[in-house]
Structure 1
Amino acid sequence: MSAQQQKKPRQIRCTIIGAEVSGILMAYKLKRHLNDYVTFKIFEKSPDLGGTCYASSDEIQGYLKGVAKHFDLERYISSNTKVVSARWSKEDSTWTVELEDGSLVTSEILVNAGGILNHPQIPNIEGLSDFSGPLLHTASWDYSIDLRGKRVGVIGAGASSIQLVPSIQPLVQDMKVFIRTPSWIAPPVALPDPDATNYTYSTEEKAIFEANKEIYLDTRKGFPEQKRTRAMFESRMKQLIPDQDLQKKLIPPFEAGCRRINPGEGFLTALQKPNVEPVFDLIERMTRAGIVAGGKEYPADVLVAATGFNTTFRPRFPIIGRNGVNLQDAWQEHPESYLGLGVAGFPNYLIFLGPNTPISNGSLMGSVEATAD
């Protein structure tokens, strides 16, 4: 063996599932810091990179594409390539990934960067398949469907609907928005404010919280700031909803913060446009022509399920670790991981935003960046 061969390090192979924020970031880290030691491939089931975005997704997706191009990561990505299974081999300590076309890819490390916001939550409604027109879902949008001049029925009033409704309201002829549970609508957040400050807890206060859980819980419910926040949101929503009957239906009866707070005032404005009608009766069933709610049929040309994601931590395909254990089964009841990225019994299998990841109502980017590091 030559001296040059002796100096050349053995390269470890890495398979990355998903070309979204996590996958692109992981690829960047590997290329920048471990380029001499790790080779990697990225498999993305969609036609293009990007992942889960706001309704105005072009800017976000454009940024991610720019990142991938700038750091020469595009050549590592195989689009329209769906992973259907992964299996650990005890004999050679590798993962074998099976793709939808039947081909196999082997590597020492497997990184699942698919996240939990990639699987649409399909509503369980009688006759869903009977509807004769297009049925769209906000989690897998079909851009080939033109909504201009159409009668559209939107199911849901959560974060997805709150972004969707004001985006398509100017395009459609008529829109019915079926609302089961209203959401707290907040003024725009994260706006520049040079005078804003976050309260800093002292070491003594943190020690008290750790020693006495009751004191910590007192800061989470029934404290003056919470009441003021609810009063502020309610006052603002009433300003945006002049009709008192509509106020009663759209202002939630529960405390602000019990569910996701949405900075989407445009949703309330859109609901009051002449071509939009909020429907508060429970959906009974679908028909070929539309939706039946409260005993009345609402005709529609297109239906949109703005019902979010199935956010289970269980993987979407079989991942077989040591002793033939399928991670889908292991995480059926009590999903858990180490620091949100490692799983006992699944060597060299790493995940982004797994169980025990510090996820809150804020941005996930901090957790994603910490995991990549």
Structure 2
Amino acid sequence: MAPQYDAVVVGAGFGGMGAGIELDRLGLSNYVILERENDLGGTWHVNHYPGLAVDIASVTYSYSFEPNPYWSRLFAPGKELKRYAEHVADKYGLRRRMRFGAVVDGARWDEENQHWVVSVAGGETVTGRYLLTATGFLSQPYTPPFPGIESFAGKIIHTTAWEDDFDLTGRRAAIIGTGATAVQLVPEVAKKAAALTVFQRTPIWVVPKVDAPIPAPVQKLFASVPATQKAARLVNTSMLEALMVVGVLHFKQAKALNKGAGLLAKAHLRAQVRDKRTREQLTPHYDFGCKRPTFSNHYFKTFNKPHVRLETNSIDHVEADGIVTADGHKTEIDTLILATGFNLWDVNFPAVEIIGRDGANLGKFWRDNRFQAYEGITVPKFPNFLSLNSPYSYSGLSYFTTIEAQMKHMGRLFGELFRRGETTFEVTEAANARFLDTVTDKLGASVFYGGDCATARSYYFNQHGEAALLRPNSTVSTHRQAVSFPLEDYVYGVPA
């Protein structure tokens, strides 16, 4: 039985759209992109809280083959990323292959017919020769099970379900969380709320944000002379590489750079926060890079305002009209904002149930045998399957570095598959084991294992204490490997 589609892609964010573009380049144009939300854009559709913006300069946080010369700022606001996603979908003819409101329950490999059967909520199934999951790293919101939260009588909002018409004016608000989302949101809430308490479990490293509007003449220059925007992208990417690859991934060899980044963040904190006690509470006690750092010129300043308070005692329980901390202090509020992040390792790897050859369950395999994926994209016993948000896949600080490397990997893999006249592929156990050994060895020099990350509570670490998210390579190295990995690392055709 022939499958309905050449490929089924799960997720219509930038990863899924990149996969669709590459499938078209490969001539596999009969594909469908299944998206659980009601529109495309992934995180840039779901998130629209006040202050939302990229935390990687826009010239880098975009497809290199589809530059946008008209970013309004160095760090574009979220609504511009949403528009950019829509532009890409329309230009590359992706929207007509998208199905919105399609919640994927799971997928299984049909050995007899050599294709994937994907189950969609409501009882429907679709079949595809190839399965590509692009569900994103930060797609499963997490709400800690605070005792008594169901009794809260006020308004509760998670940042991923922001209500644009909700007026914070005069509210007594609390924000739980101090990650990158909260760093953007806290200053905006403080502008309207009568009182704001920020509940912090773990402080975050924050460095100055060199942000400014991009003048119209510069936008016109980018549009008329694309090489100028490419140069700006190269400069920014190089700076990120120095911070991430050298200072974080090569921590043992470059401790001075890592310590320098930490000193910059501490100087930024000292310059912006007047109260000594508050500065101490906002100072991380783990090495720079253990937890994803961020940029802001306004977050720290917010804590100088008389109506803003930082609370570092742990939350004991929630009552109808407030939050009680472990020391017995009650903060009376009428609005609870959850900036509590995402669940990566428990429910996101994979985000849906994937059953491969011989009944292998991907989630169980990863949890029983360590999180792993060859080149961050394929897994033994899962034929014709590409996981675009896998362990050891995230390269550099811009997600687009990862997306485009995986697109190149697809191009090389399918090119060889077609050359051989076959329709199935599967990475070998030996190649997968070799890759896992290599990345594990390289990460030994990183801040995650060589530095002090004990208090970071970072999503980089899984439940086994492994930093199995980031690929320990430079952008250049990752892209080089994507077009030069040994072709014999895969088996092509149905094994005899």
Fold match, TM over 0.5? yes
Query: Do residues 341 (structure 1) and 341 (structure 2) align?
Result: no
| 2:16 partner letter | G
- 1:256 corresponds in structure 2 to 288
- 1:300 corresponds in structure 2 to 333
- Equivalenced residues, count: 346
Contact 1:314 1:332 in 2 (8 A): no
- 1:40 corresponds in structure 2 to 31
> Helix, strand or coil for the counterpart of 2:294?
coil
Query: Do residues 314 (structure 1) and 349 (structure 2) align?
Result: yes
Q: Please report how far the alpha carbon of residue 92 of structure 1 lies from its aligned counterpart in structure 2 after TM superposition.
A: 0.4
CA deviation profile, 1:145-186 (whole Å, cap 9, x unmatched): 443332221001121211111233223232111112211211
Q: Please report how far the alpha carbon of residue 190 of structure 1 lies from its aligned counterpart in structure 2 after TM superposition.
A: 8.3
Identity %: 30
- 2:253 corresponds in structure 1 to 219
Q: Mark the CA change 1:332 to 1:298 in structure 2 (over 3 Å): closer, same or farther.
A: same
Q: Mark the CA change 1:217 to 1:258 in structure 2 (over 3 Å): closer, same or farther.
A: closer
Contact 1:139 1:309 in 2 (8 A): no
- Mapped partners of 2:161, 2:358: distance in 1: 36
Q: Mark the CA change 1:281 to 1:200 in structure 2 (over 3 Å): closer, same or farther.
A: closer
Per the normalisation by structure 2, the TM-score is 0.64
CA RMSD, 1 decimal: 2.8
> Helix, strand or coil for the counterpart of 2:9?
strand
- Mapped partners of 1:148, 1:96: distance in 2: 50
- 1:90 corresponds in structure 2 to 111
| Residue pairs, 1:1-373, within 5 angstroms | 13-31=6-24, 33-35=25-27, 37-53=28-44, 55-56=52-53, 57-143=78-164, 145-188=166-209, 218-221=252-255, 223=256, 225-293=257-325, 294-312=327-345, 314-333=349-368, 334-360=370-396, 362-373=397-408
Between 1:321-330 and 1:91-100, the stretch displaced more is: 321-330
More helix by share: 2
- 2:432 corresponds in structure 1 to none
> Helix, strand or coil for the counterpart of 2:30?
strand
Q: Please report how far the alpha carbon of residue 258 of structure 1 lies from its aligned counterpart in structure 2 after TM superposition.
A: 3.0
CA deviation profile, 1:308-340 (whole Å, cap 9, x unmatched): 111125222221111112212111241211111
Contact 1:84 1:318 in 2 (8 A): yes
Q: Mark the CA change 1:62 to 1:168 in structure 2 (over 3 Å): closer, same or farther.
A: farther
Q: Please report how far the alpha carbon of residue 195 of structure 1 lies from its aligned counterpart in structure 2 after TM superposition.
A: 9.1
List gaps (5 residues or longer) in structure 1. 1-9, 202-208, 210-215
- Mapped partners of 1:12, 1:316: distance in 2: 22
> Helix, strand or coil for the counterpart of 1:188?
coil
CA deviation profile, 1:174-206 (whole Å, cap 9, x unmatched): 2111112211211115887999976999xxxxx
- 1:212 corresponds in structure 2 to none
Q: Please report how far the alpha carbon of residue 234 of structure 1 lies from its aligned counterpart in structure 2 after TM superposition.
A: 1.6
List gaps (5 residues or longer) in structure 2. 54-77, 213-231, 409-496
Q: Please report how far the alpha carbon of residue 141 of structure 1 lies from its aligned counterpart in structure 2 after TM superposition.
A: 3.3
Contact 2:205 2:288 in 1 (8 A): yes
> Helix, strand or coil for the counterpart of 2:324?
strand
Per the normalisation by structure 1, the TM-score is 0.84
Q: Mark the CA change 1:47 to 1:134 in structure 2 (over 3 Å): closer, same or farther.
A: farther
Contact 2:109 2:116 in 1 (8 A): yes
- Mapped partners of 1:147, 1:78: distance in 2: 35
- Mapped partners of 1:322, 1:176: distance in 2: 51
Between 1:137-146 and 1:328-337, the stretch displaced more is: 137-146
| 1:21 partner letter | F
